[in-house]
Structure 1
Amino acid sequence: MAAHRARRWSVGGLVLLLSAALAAAFLVTTTGPATSRANAAAAGAQTWADEFDGAAGSAPDRSKWTLETGGSGNGNNELQYYTDSTRNASLDGNGNLVITAQKNTDSGLRCWYGTCQYTSARLNTAKTFTQAYGRYEARIKIPRGQGIWPAFWMLGDDLGSAGWPNSGEIDIMENVGHEPGTVHGTVHGPGYSGGGGITASYSLPNGKAFADDFHTFAVDWSPNAITWSVDGQTYQTRKPADVNGNKWVFDHPFFIVLNLAVGGNWPGSPDGSTSFPQKMTVDYVRVSTSDSSGGGGSRTGAIKGIGGMCVDVAGASSADGTPIQLHNCTGVDAQKWTTGSDGTVRALGKCLDVQGGSTAAGAVVQLYTCNGTKAQQWTHTAARDLTNIGSDKCLDARGNSSADGTRLQTWTCTGAANQKWTVG
């Protein structure tokens, strides 16, 4: 989109994120997931959620969300001032978060262009939750009108150190008010940012508008692909090859952003047809390790290698550091591995892990508490290689052996039989 915005972070928000980036080097989750609703989409292991259950007029949960403040224009010449007031972001008592954009009545609020014309809200999880890979989903009823710009999106947790767009951005849903029946999904990174973002759109049939009802917006994100959907309908998949030789920066944890902007380079300014207040109503936001409905779902089963031997947790122990080996296939839980779109391979409640995060050939593979690092992220290729993301090396049976008890390691990918694996 030629008119797409140049960037989405604010100067005030960047100060917040500089400190958050230091604390978010690994996967961080909050306390246990909220109770699922009857109409929830089928998903894998839920890692984070907000169902927005609370009293009418109460503030969003500060243990989950940080409200950004300021009127910098966010690099897009936006017109709103983001506040942390419940006048702009509050629960409605019916299980929804309501973000309200309205005309400003406080002459003391200053924006980049002078006295602010509008106020609204922008929430993020930079301090409280980040995750690499999985399904990110929200059910939202968007507002309407010229110059209105709601969004549900993500930024890389290294924004404070790498800067934008090197940290990456995944726009799960954006709508500009002059396109009432269309939403956009986009990735931004080095060499493909701003108006050069890699994007696609989804339009409702029969001239319907997204503001007329709730819709479910989601991405399913794996190490090698990001897939966008609306109401379960896939409309775009992007892979590393799609960034035209530029760096694929979607290989580390991201945090979530919800906001309702007013004006800006892409949507243009409100006009006489735009009424205020406008409300973005969010029923829920949920994150899981995978989407069992088909967008890159998890599966559980044996992993078989050379000689038909199974990948096995030695002694069926779930202790950190337990060796991973080949063993005759017996069907026990120590040989049942679950793979998901978050890139992990899990057994006995823990992750297949390269010891010490080593990138050296010959690093041993072990069972370890899941922590979201690249040492625990794997890709199973069409060639049947099981490749570790952190080291870019293959799971390997030592000495080309299929003997019972052969230790597994990572090694430079050679295409040999001791590096070929059948999963599930």
Structure 2
Amino acid sequence: MAAHRARRWSLGGSALLVAAAFTFITAGPSADRADAAPAPAALTWSDEFDGPAGRAPDPSKWTLETGGSGNGNHELQYYTDSTDNAALDGNGNLVITARKNTDPHLKCWYGTCQYTSARLNTARTFTQAYGHFEARIKVPRGQGMWPAFWMLGNDLGTVGWPHSGEIDIMENVGHEPRTVHGTVHGPGYSGGGGIGASYTLPNGAAFADDFHVFAVDWTPESITWSVDGIAYQTRTPADLGGNRWVYDHPFFLILNLAVGGDWPGSPNAGTAFPQTMTIDYVRASTSGGSAENGGTTRTGAVKGIGGMCVDVAGASTADGTPIQLHDCTGVDAQKWTLGNDGTVRALGKCLDVRGASTADGTPVQLYTCNGTKAQQWAHTSGRDLTNIGADKCLSTRGSSSADGTPLQIRTCTGAADQKWTVG
């Protein structure tokens, strides 16, 4: 266990929390899923950091935090939004650079800041619950360096830390050049009480010598950490000593390079500056799997009563677009993916129960994927398509099979208008 800090969030970070697209939740017991062959993971978000040298990180993907609060850990850096501290290198990498500060106007919690660096998050642009998250990173070297690749819950701004949850995918402190740490923090197990483990490179190698891939595989029941594909720990609710497992909602990604702090200590005379954290890529995907663990993915037309197809009205991608029955034509508005994450998707958005209502007759619609239970579905062996949030079945209005009939949720009765086949 890494007994290292009280917290890593900042007020600036919590202010950035907004709803984000492409959020994935696993729904329903595997016993209710139709059998299928193992499914590959599907990439849901990535940044390969391609672009000319000196360009800032893509603002459609990353927000650069600023400030010198110390982030609850007495860190010494001031986080800037300057390309002096975070920029592409022109070779497909993002480079976060920690420098000695030369600006007397930059103020930190302890006075004039000694160092500058960068911290980036996806709170405004991307959150996801469950799946595979990885980054290929070359860490800096030296006493006082503290690079990290980690995640915070998207409800940080409302419930606060640690109730929002924190998943540290990789942390390294400079006085441990061969070792990285993976940790979870939540209510009753935060700061020095975080639950985790470490991984040490063999043969005396240091993580700063080369790139390494740091990853977690996160399901509703467990989180597994790996380095270069080698799993080194798994945590489940049973590891929390009765405390609450808060890893049941979307999280956002963070990359940062801190200087100093309670855990790594301050740089010393042997620490050279500037120091760099080089990131080749960051990727998120759904987890692959098999019917044995609930991981199935199927794509095709969803056909119901009268052989009619589930269709996005007008092939519109606007939030709130009604879902209807329509003659099967093979258009993209009728191509649905039932994923191993519990979503049912077409045109890049999710099948959603309007207003997250549980009432009979509530219409279903196309909506930006947001990880709520209104977007969790289970296709049972009896061919019901059940919404997990409402515990009700996808049905046609008035049991009709007419072209243009709106779809809705209704108490499951086994009626013909509640039976659906995929593909």
TM-score normalised to structure 2 length: 0.74
- Specify the code of the residue in structure 1 equivalent to 2:144: G
Measured after TM superposition, the shift of residue 69 of structure 1 is 1.9
Distance 1:370 1:80, change over 3 A: closer
2:142 maps to 1:141: no
Structure 2 residue corresponding to 1:160, chosen from 157, 161, 173: 157
Alignment check: 8 A CA contact 1:141 1:214 kept: yes
Show the 5 A alignment for 1:176-187.
176-187=173-184
Name the structure 1 match of 2:205: 208
Structure 2 residue corresponding to 1:254, chosen from 229, 248, 251: 251
Name the structure 2 match of 1:9: 9
Provide the rounded CA distance (Å) in 2 between the counterparts of 1:383 and 1:268: 57
Provide the rounded CA distance (Å) in 2 between the counterparts of 1:246 and 1:383: 35
Alignment: residue pair count: 393
Structure 2 residue corresponding to 1:25, chosen from 14, 19, 23: 19
- Specify the code of the residue in structure 1 equivalent to 2:256: N
- Specify the code of the residue in structure 2 equivalent to 1:300: R
Q: Secondary structure at the match of 1:7?
A: coil
- Specify the code of the residue in structure 1 equivalent to 2:112: T
Name the structure 2 match of 1:82: 79
Distance 1:334 1:67, change over 3 A: closer
Provide the rounded CA distance (Å) in 2 between the counterparts of 1:130 and 1:251: 12
Structure 2 residue corresponding to 1:227, chosen from 218, 224, 249: 224
- Specify the code of the residue in structure 1 equivalent to 2:52: G
Alignment check: 8 A CA contact 2:20 2:125 kept: no
Alignment check: 8 A CA contact 1:262 1:270 kept: yes
Measured after TM superposition, the shift of residue 77 of structure 1 is 0.9
| 1:33-53 deviation digits (Å, cap 9, x = unpaired) | xxxxxxxxx841433434242
Structure 1 residue corresponding to 2:370, chosen from 369, 372, 386: 372
2:190 maps to 1:197: no
Name the structure 1 match of 2:99: 102
Alignment check: 8 A CA contact 1:354 1:410 kept: no
Q: Secondary structure at the match of 2:175?
A: coil
Alignment check: 8 A CA contact 1:312 1:335 kept: yes
Provide the rounded CA distance (Å) in 2 between the counterparts of 1:364 and 1:223: 28
Alignment check: 8 A CA contact 1:352 1:365 kept: no
| 1:256-304 deviation digits (Å, cap 9, x = unpaired) | 211101111111222233222211001112233x144899965227999
Distance 1:363 1:282, change over 3 A: farther
Provide the rounded CA distance (Å) in 1 between the counterparts of 2:60 and 2:182: 28
Alignment check: 8 A CA contact 2:76 2:108 kept: yes
Provide the rounded CA distance (Å) in 2 between the counterparts of 1:337 and 1:77: 50
Show the 5 A alignment for 1:9-408.
9-11=9-11, 13-14=12-13, 17-18=14-15, 20-21=16-17, 24-27=18-21, 43-55=41-53, 57-288=54-285, 290-292=286-288, 299-300=297-298, 313=310, 320-322=321-323, 338-340=337-339, 342-346=341-345, 351-358=350-357, 360=358, 366=364, 368-378=366-376, 391=389, 394=391
- Structure 1 vs Structure 2: percent identity of aligned residues? 65
Structure ranking higher on relative contact order (CA contacts 8 Å, 6+ apart): 2
Measured after TM superposition, the shift of residue 124 of structure 1 is 1.7
Distance 1:314 1:239, change over 3 A: farther
- Specify the code of the residue in structure 2 equivalent to 1:356: G
Provide the rounded CA distance (Å) in 2 between the counterparts of 1:77 and 1:381: 50
Name the structure 2 match of 1:415: none
Name the structure 2 match of 1:307: none
Measured after TM superposition, the shift of residue 194 of structure 1 is 1.0
Name the structure 2 match of 1:32: none
Unaligned residue ranges in structure 1 (runs of 5+): 30-41, 305-309, 325-332, 399-403, 413-418
Distance 1:395 1:267, change over 3 A: farther
Q: Secondary structure at the match of 2:167?
A: strand
Alignment check: 8 A CA contact 2:387 2:393 kept: no
- Specify the code of the residue in structure 1 equivalent to 2:372: K
Provide the rounded CA distance (Å) in 2 between the counterparts of 1:197 and 1:339: 36
Provide the rounded CA distance (Å) in 1 between the counterparts of 2:79 and 2:125: 20
Greater mean alpha carbon deviation, residues 257-266 or residues 163-172: 163-172
Measured after TM superposition, the shift of residue 176 of structure 1 is 1.1
Measured after TM superposition, the shift of residue 76 of structure 1 is 0.4
Greater mean alpha carbon deviation, residues 172-181 or residues 240-249: 240-249
Alignment check: 8 A CA contact 1:44 1:292 kept: yes
Unaligned residue ranges in structure 2 (runs of 5+): 24-39, 326-331, 396-400, 413-417
Q: Secondary structure at the match of 1:211?
A: helix
Measured after TM superposition, the shift of residue 62 of structure 1 is 2.8
Distance 1:205 1:387, change over 3 A: farther
Alignment check: 8 A CA contact 2:75 2:260 kept: yes
Provide the rounded CA distance (Å) in 2 between the counterparts of 1:276 and 1:46: 36
Measured after TM superposition, the shift of residue 363 of structure 1 is 6.9
| 1:3-33 deviation digits (Å, cap 9, x = unpaired) | 321111234x14xx32x33xx235369xxxx
Distance 1:262 1:291, change over 3 A: same
| 1:359-398 deviation digits (Å, cap 9, x = unpaired) | x375768463442241345487999999856x3x645599
